[in-house]
Amino acid sequence: MTTTDRTTPGQTGRDTHAEALSLDTAVNLAEIEVLGRAALDRNALEYYASGANDGHTLRANRDDFARLRLRPRMLVDVSSVDTRTEVLGLELHSPIGVAPSAFHGLAHEQAEKATARAAAGMGSVMTLSTFSNTPIAEVGEAASGRFWFQLYLLSDRELSRSVIQRAEASGARALVFTVDAPYLGRREPNERHRFALPPHLSAPNVSTRAELAQVETDTGSQLANYFANLVDKTFTWNDLDWLRAQTKLPIVLKGILTAEDAVLAAEHGCHIWVSNHGGRQLDTAVSSIEALPEVADAAAGRVEIYLDGGVTRGTDVLKAVALGAKAVFLGRAALWGLAAGGEGGVRRTLELLQNEFRLAMALSGKQTVGQLGRDLIKR
C-alpha cells in the first residue's frame, strides 16, 4: 500500500464552525485548533491528535489544569505587568515556548522554518525535533538563535554524535534529551490507518526518503516500525557521562514525572522537563501538572524546570509557573496554529496565549513572573 492510498485528497475535518472562523477572528487557542484540524487530511490529523491507548493521560493533561483553583490578591497596582523571564540565560517575552514535535511538514509547506520564525518573532524559543522535516541548519537560520534541539539517543552512536554536532553548529542553545520513549507508545489510529509520511517529506536529520520508503507499513505505523530499531534502548543514568562528553550545551531531560528521577537528574547536572509526551506514551501515567510539584520539590532549585502537556490557556501558564516551572512549552497548540496559517498561525497562537497570561497575572494581583508562587494555588 502506498502513502497516497492512506489519505483522501482534500479530505479534512472542516465544519461550519471552521468556515466561520479565521486567524484574525479566533479569540482563543480552541478556535485555532478548529481551524488547524480543518486544514489537515486524516493521515496528518490522526498523527498530531492521537494519544496512547484510551487517551486517559491525554485528557488528564488538560483536565488537571482546570481542577486547580487560583487565590488572587486584590488592591495591587497592576497598571504595568511584566511577563518576561529567562530560560538558560535566554530572555523570553513570556514563559511560553514551543515543544519538540515531529513532522511539521504535515501541517504546512514551510514546516519547521515557519514555526521557528514565528517563535523568534514573538521573543519565544522553539525546540526542534530530531524527526523534523527540515534540516537542522535551515531551522537554525530561521530561528535567529532562539532554538533548542531535541535528541532521541540513537542506537548508532556515531549518528547521534553527528546530529549533536550539527545542532551545535546551527546555533542550538540547549540539548533536550527525550527519556520517555525507548519504544513508541501505541497510538491506535496511527496503527489502524497505517500512518506514513507522504512521498515529498523525509526525516533528513536521521534518514533519507529512500530509507523511510523501505520501512514496512502493511502492519501498522511507519514511524512506529522505523522507531523500533532506531533508538538506543540500553541507555541508562550511567550513560549520561557519554552524552555530556559530546556537547558543551546545557542538557535537559524531557519526560521526568517523579521525584526520584528529578533527584537523579539534578545530581547529574541536567535540567528537567516535566512531560508525559502529550499523553502519547504510557497511558494512565500522571499528568504533567500533577507531577510538577513533587518534581519541583525534589529538584530544590538546583536546576531549571519546564513543562508541557495540556497548556491551552493563560491561566494554565500561570499555574505551572506558580508550581515551579520556569516555562511551559506548546506541542499540539503550535501545530494547530501552523496548520491554520503557517508562520502567522503560530504567531497568533503565541500572541493569544501571551496576552491571556498577562491578563491572568494582572487579575491575580501579580506584577512580575518572579512573584508567582504556590500561595497562588488553592491547596
The C-alpha atoms of residue 89 and residue 73 are separated, in whole angstroms, by 30
- The beta strands (E) that lie in 105-226 are given as 126-128, 147-151, 175-178
Q: Are the CB atoms for 376 and 63 separated by under 8 Å?
A: no
Helices 56-67, 314-322: crossing angle, 10 deg rounding: 80
Is residue 104 annotated as a catalytic residue, yes or no? no
- Where is the binding site for glyoxylate, in residues? 47, 152, 187, 277, 280
Q: Is 109 exposed, middle or buried (0-12, 13-18, 19+ CB in 10 A)?
A: exposed
- Active-site option among 104, 108, 271, 277: 277
- d(CA 270, CA 374) in angstroms, rounded, equals 24
CA distance 257 to 271: 13
C-alpha cell at 317: 501558564
CB 189 within 8 A of CB 46: yes
Q: Which residue has the cell 520564525?
A: 117
Q: Which residues fall in the annotated binding site?
A: 47, 100-102, 129, 150, 152, 178, 187, 254, 275, 277, 280, 331-332
Q: What is the CA radius of gyration of the chain?
A: 20
Strands 90-92, 85-87: pairing is antiparallel
Catalytic residues, which ones? 277
